[in-house]
Amino acid sequence: MAKESSYLKIFFIFLPLSILFIVSVFPLGYSLYISLFRGVMEKFIGLENYYYLVQDPRFIDAIRVTLTFTAITVSSQTIIGLLLAFVLIQPGVRGRSFWQTLFLLPLVIPPIVAGVMFKILYHPAFGPSSYLNFIGIKPPLWLEDPTMALISVCIINIWMWTPFAFLIFYSGIRAIPQEILEAAIVDGASGFRMLTDIILPHIKALILVVVLFRTLDNFTAFDEIMGSTAGGPGFSTTTFAIYAYKLAFKSWDLGYAAAASTIMFLISVTIGVTLVKMVYRR
């Protein structure tokens, strides 16, 4: 009986490790292997792909776009999600269940669908902004203007994922002992003082968790960008993921794309480890 129990333990340990290897470790290792070749594994060139990547202006620009996109979206989602959660816990709010459902609705929409949906909404000919023509104002070119395209894509991502931050913060604020909040209200504390002196100190760890998850996810954002701009106009919305995709499936330079993906993975791991350490300190 003890022997059978030992075999069972080994099985339940081996099974998840095997799945982890298949879906994670093996693809990573194979990507590293491909990155040592030119094109579709045409010729072994060692680390040349990495050497050319760090000098590639388009790759450097993809890093800049990715960091800018991530900084704008993560900061906006954190702030807006926190404010929505704070407003919804106020005693005088009616229809709290309705607002919760409304705030969480974007989470059920697939990112690629959201990208296409906003592409329609942004369209200057038949989107909502087309009504500006009736008052003599030319509609803005949300996705066609290089200076506006990145902000427009950020708005899509913020709309999609702010509900995630809201859900985490709302749960965290509701977990704060109600006696503390009620005592602050009795003492005449303003909403701003309650937020800064009571709520924020209690949910600092949750803020770091939201920043961690959203940073890692937005650092590899793909669907909503592909569905709306496909990385254009020009390279104004070409992030890491879009850049690697175009290299692999447009230029068919799998080795170069694998090298770019490896560097993206290393940067993501560095950011993730740093944020995880901050969470554990809290």
Beta-strand ranges (E) seen in the chain are 37-38, 43-44
CATH homologous superfamily for the domain 24-281: MetI-like (1.10.3720.10)
- Give the pLDDT band of residue 282 (cuts 50, 70, 90): low
- Give the pLDDT band of residue 232 (cuts 50, 70, 90): confident
Measure the CA–CA gap between 52 and 54, rounded to whole angstroms.
6
Domain ranges of the chain: 24-281
pLDDT of residue 218: 92
CA angle 119–122–124, rounded 5-degree value: 120
pTM: 0.88
**Tokens 């693809």 -> residue:** 27
Token couple for 175? 């977990």
pLDDT of residue 5: 64
Which residues have a Cβ under 8 Å from the Cβ of 255 and sit 6 or more positions away?
A: 34, 35, 36, 37, 38, 39, 40, 41, 45, 49
pLDDT at 118 over 70: yes
